[in-house]
């Protein structure tokens, strides 16, 4: 089913698009800045306990989410880079087309900034730098970064946007 636009009453689409690209840039800068800090202060495998359930670490992920295909031999770097570049192109096109739909555009811009952050890592280093490490009583969540957080936020907002759209259609 085609998306039914809900235009913003205050801003033209061009200005709104620039605002969303600005948000994507904020996400990208925050992601890359935090990764530079981690790489400057931590060696691979270093860890600093912050709380009883959170550590700062330096981990290199050569795979995708949850280290999927991490030990595949190196070809996955270019596969995931290509997928990331394709996602950036598609998201940018969709963002331009739907810039006035606030929640949808926020979700897309968050995905865009996160995808760009991880693509930059893959191109520059051959892996994604992860550093946020949550754990509790033997349970351990895989380390992640700001880009991953933005991608997760964007995906959650896409789901919420769709649920709200379907609800409005009833």
Active site residue ranges? 130, 148
Closest C-alpha among 151, 155, 167, 163 to residue 24: 151
- The DSSP letter of residue 65 is G
Which of left, alpha, beta for 92 (phi over 0: left; psi -120 to 50: alpha)? alpha
1-36 CB burial, b ≥16 within 10 A, e <16 = eeeeeeebeeeebeebbeebbebbeebbebbbebbe
- The DSSP letter of residue 46 is -
């Amino acid at each position: 089913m085609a998306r039914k636009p809900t235009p913003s009453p205050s801003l033209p689409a061009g200005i709104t698009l620039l605002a969303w690209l600005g948000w994507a840039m904020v996400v990208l800068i925050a992601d890359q800045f935090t990764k530079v800090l981690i790489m400057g202060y931590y060696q691979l495998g270093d860890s600093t306990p912050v709380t009883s359930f959170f550590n700062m670490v330096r981990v290199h992920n050569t795979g995708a989410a949850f280290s999927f295909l991490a030990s595949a031999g190196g070809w996955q770097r270019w596969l995931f880079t290509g997928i990331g570049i394709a996602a950036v192109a598609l998201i940018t096109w969709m963002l331009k087309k739907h810039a006035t739909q606030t929640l949808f555009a926020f979700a897309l811009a968050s995905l865009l900034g996160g995808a760009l952050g991880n693509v930059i890592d893959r191109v520059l280093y051959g892996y994604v730098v992860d550093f946020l490490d949550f754990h509790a009583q033997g349970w351990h969540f895989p380390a992640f970064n700001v880009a991953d957080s933005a991608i997760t936020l964007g995906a959650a907002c896409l789901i919420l946007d769709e649920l709200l759209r379907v609800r409005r259609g009833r």
